[in-house]
Structure 1
Amino acid sequence: MASSSQAFPLADSNSSSSSSSSSEGDPFGALIQQDQDEFYEIMNSVRPEIVEQVFQVRKKKQYIHRDREGSHYQLMKDYFNENCTYPPEYFHRRFRMQRELFLHILNAVKAYDDYFVQKKDATGRLGLSSIQKMATAVRIIAYDCAADHYDEYIKINENTAIKCLKAFCNAIVAMYTEEYMRPPNEADIAQLVEEGEQRGFSGMLGYIYCMHWEWKNCPVEWQGTHRGRSGKNTLVLETVASQDLWIWHAFFRMPGSHNDINVLDHSSVFNGIINGQLPPVNYVVNGHHYRMGYYMSDGIYPKWATLMQTIPHPTTTKEKLFAQRQEVARKDVERALVLQIKWVIM
């Protein structure tokens, strides 16, 4: 590298004399010339080795040859071939779903976003397969692991794994939000009422329930309002779920310092009834006709016509039977909330 005097040459006498003569009548020009001279003097005093460290060329990223083809073959052999190594229960435990559902979602994602379609790179070599990309995204969601955790098995680098995760989540939200994240329509209401009648509760639309979701990375300035009775920072999730684990109502934003009643005051669960948008619920109990459904709830909720609380201390046979049946209905929403344990990233 050139010496410091060559890297930052001082202005020569001709230029300095000409500039000084031109700035004799201009005091601002004299100040600027003085600053330039001081700058060049400081830069010439810098050691050459320090200049080399500042302006050194960044090293190229190291290339790692990953056996993507071998990884795809091993993944198919382990889980997807006809005589695969691991049985279906192993697949369900490790991918949190049945293999048939995995393949169904895979085909839908490929049709929605061609990022999951296997392509060739600039050298003509095949890239990651669609199964490798989706398997990476699903396992990260299931175990909340680092992005490069499956590099050794699936042969996928960290940046590509993050891209797969984002593309998969965006595709799922775009494809299934309209179908599943919506209030029940008339057909859904009829199905919910039929399920309730089979369980001894005519007109029941589900069980409303609140749980506290721990927020590990809660900002310090918010911890006072988000600390619940357990002493941990939480967010409250209000949800209603049916027997088939369809969560058709979810309200998730209230701080953990609120109880179920406060959450209900801010919730939109009854907006359909208030605005007259919810389809009518027709059922008969003891000869009386009703046109509005109700929800099972805990004893903390208010005594509204749309809420049916449990009996806290049943004594008679009828009361014990009612409390037992309602507890069975409560298990529906509790089973749905097990998703927090099933998908660790949540």
Structure 2
Amino acid sequence: MMYSRPSSSSSSSSSNTEEYDQLVDELFTYQPPTFLMPQTLSQPTTKTPRGGTNRRDREMGHARLFNDYFSDNPVYNTTQFRRRFRMQRPLFLRIMNKVVEGDVYFQQRRDAAGRLGLSPLQKCTVVIRMLAYGMAADAVDEYVRISQSTARVALQRFCAEVIDQFGTEYMRNPTTDELARILHQNELRGFPVFDEVLHGRAPPVNFTVNGHEYNMAYYLADDIYLKWATFVQGITYPQLQKDKMSADHQADARKDVERAFGVLQARFAIIRKPSLAYDEDILRDIMKACIIMHNMIVEDEWPQLHSS
């Protein structure tokens, strides 16, 4: 039924107003009640929290994780733990306890409804998986029961806390004993000491490169380094046999550094895969945290490797 307001050209304004009011009264009188208040006949609905967190059983995720790796009789043995966490269980627990001690974000607390939040094991485990495998933030959601946004925040705060807690010890200059061991290994392999070269205390040597006479040891480098006398760039396009041999030997020696960085990449795949963050500060923290934990792993496993 269509309703239209009558024209005022043939009647007074008062009569038009009365007729219009009558039509409005008829409209609201003869319409069914659902037209006015449809919500009175529908069942009340419960608003689902953003992200469906009411269906994510955090307690079950913690229990499964604890039984798999951290109970007295875990499902997976120490070898499997070492492969998936990139470190031994005592070292992981040491790092986690320090992180929890330094940042309340990793402490397990109750929400407004009285439910327990995510445990430190869940947050630290998802961070280690992201660092070790370079996976997306929600890749272990169905196992650890942690959302994508929470995993990203945990990654940033975990790396920052590792730097704060362990950076002073594991990103410091080498001690006298450590430096002596490194220098001894380099001496056996024939590598010069850069610090000695800078202070003019390197063993006297004489050689010629590109027609220039040198009486100090040198370092093999590529074109990205400064044009210092101690840096000798390789031959880009060797033509003669002696040039090819020199370039091959230099490339072999330079690959030692690349292999050392390759060990770090093999341990933490997030370094060699496309970035999961766009902020330079976060990327810097991720790199520093990986280096620190790498040094901690080497220190933890060094006696075992040295004895074998």
- TM-score for both structures, normalised by structure 2: 0.52
Code of the aligned partner of 2:231: L
* Cα 1:300–1:345 shift into 2, 3 Å: closer
Query: What displacement does 1:309 show?
Result: 4.6
**Matches of 1:331 and 1:155, distance apart in 2:** 41
Partner of 1:307 in structure 2? 231
* Cα 1:109–1:200 shift into 2, 3 Å: same
Larger deviation: 333-342 or 186-195?
Answer: 186-195
Partner of 2:61 in structure 1? 71
Query: What displacement does 1:73 show?
Result: 2.5
**Matches of 1:101 and 1:313, distance apart in 2:** 52
Query: What displacement does 1:70 show?
Result: 2.8
**Matches of 2:157 and 2:253, distance apart in 1:** 38
Count the aligned residue pairs.
218
Code of the aligned partner of 2:124: M
* Cα 1:339–1:172 shift into 2, 3 Å: same
Query: What displacement does 1:330 show?
Result: 2.4
**Matches of 1:68 and 1:106, distance apart in 2:** 19
Partner of 1:296, secondary structure, is: strand
* Cα 1:300–1:158 shift into 2, 3 Å: closer
Bigger RCO of structures 1 and 2 (CA < 8 A, at least 6 apart): 2
Partner of 1:165 in structure 2? 155
Query: What displacement does 1:85 show?
Result: 2.5
Q: Contact (CA 8 Å) 1:118, 1:127: kept in 2 or not?
A: yes
Partner of 2:96 in structure 1? 106
List runs of 5+ in structure 1 lacking aligned partners.
1-12, 14-48, 53-57, 206-272
**Pairing partner for 1:151 from 141, 149, 154:** 141
**Matches of 1:293 and 1:179, distance apart in 2:** 31
Query: What displacement does 1:114 show?
Result: 2.0
* Cα 1:185–1:157 shift into 2, 3 Å: closer
Query: What displacement does 1:155 show?
Result: 1.5
Query: What displacement does 1:87 show?
Result: 3.4
* Cα 1:101–1:282 shift into 2, 3 Å: farther
Partner of 1:133 in structure 2? 123
- TM-score for both structures, normalised by structure 1: 0.48
**Pairing partner for 2:106 from 94, 116, 119:** 116
**Matches of 2:265 and 2:48, distance apart in 1:** 42
Partner of 1:284, secondary structure, is: coil
Query: What displacement does 1:113 show?
Result: 0.9
**Matches of 1:174 and 1:69, distance apart in 2:** 30
Partner of 2:54, secondary structure, is: coil
- Residues 1-346 of structure 1 aligned to structure 2 (within 5 Å): 59-61=47-49, 63-176=53-166, 184=173, 187=176, 192-204=182-194, 280=199, 282-285=201-204, 294-298=218-222, 304-309=228-233, 324=249, 327-328=252-253, 330-337=255-262, 339-340=264-265, 342-343=269-270, 344=273, 346=275
**Matches of 1:107 and 1:313, distance apart in 2:** 59
**Matches of 2:241 and 2:96, distance apart in 1:** 53
**Matches of 2:103 and 2:79, distance apart in 1:** 29
**Matches of 1:309 and 1:97, distance apart in 2:** 38
Query: What displacement does 1:146 show?
Result: 3.8
Partner of 1:64, secondary structure, is: helix
The structure whose Rg is larger is 2
- Percent of aligned positions that are identical: 38
Code of the aligned partner of 1:330: K
